[in-house]
Amino acid sequence: MSTAKKFAGQTAIYGISTIVSRVLSFILTPIYTIAYAPNVYGIFTTMFSWASMLNPVLAFGMETTFFRYLNKREDEKQTVYNNAFATVITLSTLFLLIAIPLVNNIANEVSIGNSSHEDYVIYVKCFIAVLVLDAFAVIPFAKIRADGKPGRYGIIKFINVTVFVGFNLLFIYVLPYIAKHNLAGTAYINQWFRHGWVGYVFLSNFISSLITLILLLPELLKLKFRFNWPMLKEMLAYSWPILIANISYSLNENLDKLLLGKLLPLSQKANAVGVYGACAKISLFLSLFINAFRLGAEPFFFNHAKNKNAGQTYARIMDYFVIAVCIIFVAIVANIEILKYFIPNHKYWVGLRVVPPLVFGYVSLGIYMNLSVWYRLSDQTKYGLYISGIGAILTLVLNVIFIPMYSYMASAWVSLIAYATMMVLSYLWGQKNYPIPYNIKKNLVYIISSIILVYLSFSVFNRNIFAGNLLLVLFAAGTLYFEWKDLKAILSRR
């Protein structure tokens, strides 16, 4: 089997599991936007943003470090696993010990109104528990990927999301229905159940994370408390720049939502955060592909690094990655008048203008993730720190300047600027320090063409579905015409 076909197969397996899990999760967006007003939706947009920013701190970049050291120390895989897992457990335990006494202070900090202080204390406690449980699962999930078990990975992720969705449906629909129609159990339900309480979303998350960790017990039980301290020091030295880079990336992803809640007037902020958070979900359709790519690419890139033709392989993967994300970019915007019904509550549709810049931001992010292979393979992870740090600074400074004037539209465009800057910097520094023969002219043609088509679809043709999809078909047909010879060659290899 050709290398390209092998990589495509691995990515497809992770992609299917990711898509199935995310589709189930996406079902909750229309449910939430029907069940909750924008100002209430803004509460859990804020809470999940804080959680997303803390996740990389507890993981400490050990997922990438784990894959790198499996490649470097092939004869000491168990020791690599022990060291990586011990690091995450230690940090998570310290976080738990520090956070619990500060729950009230944290609740005051994350509050954007629309709930009592007591409720925010409950939200924070749930999220502390979820953060610790999810951190404990990071290295076991990485081990499953390293062991080449995408099926097991997909099943556990599927169960995680199914439990999360199931409990959300239970609290939002099933229990209120039982109580309303006075069915069996109504008296018990009425003793404790709070109709329309957003805290049940966070409780559902806690239950799903706990069940996931239980399912990972076979991997957890393989941990042996024997550590190699010299290797651990090396791993930490490799990992800490990745930690800072991951924190910076997380700031880029979530800081805009938090700043909206801080910089806008009290009368606007909850509604703005809710509208922006809901409309941003449409752009996540592209993130499905990017996440599937990352899951397949990370172990593949490390395993393939010693091959003579590694650079050519990475360049070819980049070619088809760019084509794929550009087609998805055009497709999302061409069908935005359909996708908006993913958010059934029309009060949110005022924010649809954020979708094109956010989606192109994800295009840039995906290309950056692909490009970042150079500093991971060459052990120059400090560059990941520099690049993501610059992106985070841009996100912070530009949002602070422009949110008071342009509200969430500023956040959308700043997100694009930050990711595009990171993409360009990674390419320039990468070609200097670890040259990979990317076909930059060809990739730019596809990127610029997709931007032009999206502009025509969204602005000139005013989101007309037929005009947008005609442009999509022309783009896809043109791509197939120019790429057919290479595609045919790849498919014919065994």
pLDDT confidence of residue 145:
82
**What DSSP state is assigned to residue 348?**
G
> Residue 397 in contact with residue 255, Cβ under 8 Å?
no
Residue in 492, 376, 426 with CA at minimum distance from that of residue 72: 376
DSSP state for residue 98 in the 8-state scheme: H
- Measure Cα distances from 108 to 113, 126, 129, 170, 491 in Å: 10, 15, 18, 29, 57
Q: Among 369, 53, 385, 422, which residue's Cα sits nearest to residue 239?
A: 385
| Structural domain containing residue 360 | 3-492
Question: Which tens digit of pLDDT belongs to each residue from 44-71?
Answer: 777 777 887 788 888 888 888 888 888 7
Q: What φ, ψ does residue 27 adopt, rounded to 5°?
A: -55, -30
Residue 140: φ, ψ to 5°: -55, -40
pLDDT of the residue at 343: 82
Q: What's the burial of 285, exposed, middle or buried (CB within 10 Å: 0-12/13-18/19+)?
A: buried
Q: What is the pLDDT of residue 94?
A: 93
Number of folded domains in the chain?
A: 1
Profile the chain (494 residues) by mean pLDDT over runs of 10 residues.
Answer: 54 60 67 77 75 83 85 82 89 92 85 75 90 92 83 86 91 90 88 86 92 93 80 87 78 81 77 84 79 71 74 87 94 92 84 93 91 84 86 92 92 94 94 91 95 95 94 94 75 55
> Tokens standing for 407?
């509200």
Instruction: Give whole-number Cα distances, 171 to 122, 177, 202, 454, in Å.
Output: 16, 10, 11, 40
d(CA 45, CA 123): 12
241-271 tens-digit pLDDT:
778 777 777 777 778 888 887 888 877 777 8
The Cα–Cα gap between 31 and 21 comes to: 16
Query: How wide is the angle at C-alpha 26 spanned by C-alphas 421 and 455, nearest 5°?
Result: 45
- Give the Cα separation of 58 and 427 in Å (integer): 29
Question: What is residue 1's predicted lDDT score, i.e. its pLDDT?
Answer: 47
pLDDT value at position 456? 96
Buried b (16+ CB within 10 A) or exposed e, 87-107: bbbebbeebeeebeeebeebb
Both tokens assigned to 448: 């610029």
Task: Kindly report the number of other CB atoms within 10 A of residue 429's CB atom.
Answer: 17
Q: Give the up-direction half-sphere exposure of residue 319: CA atoms within 13 A in the CB hemisphere.
A: 18
- Name residue, tokens 């990171």: 422
Q: Provide the pLDDT for residue 133.
A: 94
Q: What is the pTM of this model?
A: 0.72
Long-range contact pairs involving 74-77 (C-beta distance under 8 Å, separation at least 24):
76/228, 76/231
